[in-house]
């Protein structure tokens, strides 16, 4: 829990009361490797904070699993579309390692917004940061070659390459596993 609150300070400094209120709404979860946090088709009603472990979000495209993001320590995790719209999730989220998470329900969170303005502010700021992160990812994904994308991943997120099977990384980069293997051979 300390880790979560330490991380929140990167976004906004909460008052003691807000922290206590927030703390009461979180529940700890421990899940083994390969377990699902969210399954396609179910509505996701929680936001998670990943304290320890790593996981991937993926969806099905013509029977193929497309991994479109990874989550690591200190990431906020949810199926955002489902969480926001209350519609069934189109993606699944699966643990790639055994992990520890903190969960907060959407009702609890929106309840807090009314009682603690600062918590809503915190969440707004988190969204802003996540938005620009996604924007960057979008530009990289669409307008760079596979090799450039891999090299950038190597530089910026070497932890991904160390902890994640090649097949998932290839999918994440939008290329086939064979192509990624050849890129690696060349470097």
Partner DNA sequence: CTGCGTTTTTGACTATTGTCAAAAACGGGC
Partner DNA sequence: GCCCGTTTTTGACAATAGTCAAAAACGCAG
Print the binding letters for residues 18-57 with its own copies: x by CB under 8 A, - otherwise: ----------------------------------------
Choosing among its own copies, DNA, none, which partner's interface includes residue 181 (Cβ < 5 to 8 Å by kind)? DNA
Q: Which helix (H) or strand (E) holds 119?
A: helix 117-143
Give the interface segment with its own copies, choosing from 11-19, 113-121, 155-163, 177-185 (CB under 8 A): 113-121
Helix axes 117-143, 106-115, angle to 10 degrees: 130
**Out of 23, 128, 157, 182, the residue judged to bind its own copies by CB under 8 A:** 128
Nearer to DNA, 42 or 182 (CB): 182
The Cα 50–Cα 52 span in angstroms is 6
Question: What DSSP designation does 174 have?
Answer: T
Return the ∠ at Cα 56 (arms to 67 and 105), rounded to 5°.
125
Choosing among its own copies, DNA, none, which partner's interface includes residue 5 (Cβ < 5 to 8 Å by kind)? none
Residue 48, SS3 per DSSP: strand
Helix axes 106-115, 16-25, angle to 10 degrees: 160
Rg from Cα positions in the chain: 18
User: Rounded to the nearest whole angstrom, what is the least distance from the CB of residue 178 to DNA in the complex?
Assistant: 4
Nearer to DNA, 1 or 166 (CB): 166
Residues that bind its own copies (CB under 8 A): 59, 61, 66, 68, 80-81, 84-85, 113, 117, 120-121, 123-124, 127-132, 134-139, 141-143, 174
């Amino acid at each position: 829990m300390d880790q979560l609150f330490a991380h929140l300070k990167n976004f906004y400094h909460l008052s003691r009361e807000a922290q206590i209120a927030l703390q009461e709404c979180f529940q700890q979860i421990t899940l083994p490797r390969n377990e699902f946090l969210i399954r396609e088709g179910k509505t996701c009603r929680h936001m998670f904070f990943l304290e320890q472990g790593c996981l991937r979000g993926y969806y099905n495209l013509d029977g193929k699993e497309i991994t479109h993001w990874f989550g690591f320590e200190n990431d906020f995790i949810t199926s955002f579309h489902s969480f926001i719209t209350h519609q069934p999730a189109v993606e699944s989220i699966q643990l790639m390692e055994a992990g520890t998470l903190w969960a907060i329900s959407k009702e609890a969170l929106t309840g807090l917004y009314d009682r603690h303005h600062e918590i809503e502010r915190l969440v707004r700021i988190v969204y802003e940061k996540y938005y620009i992160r996604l924007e960057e990812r979008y530009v990289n994904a669409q307008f760079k070659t596979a090799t450039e994308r891999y090299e950038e991943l190597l530089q910026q997120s070497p932890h991904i390459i160390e902890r994640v099977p090649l097949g998932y990384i290839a999918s994440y980069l939008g290329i086939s596993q064979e192509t990624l293997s050849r890129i690696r051979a060349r470097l």
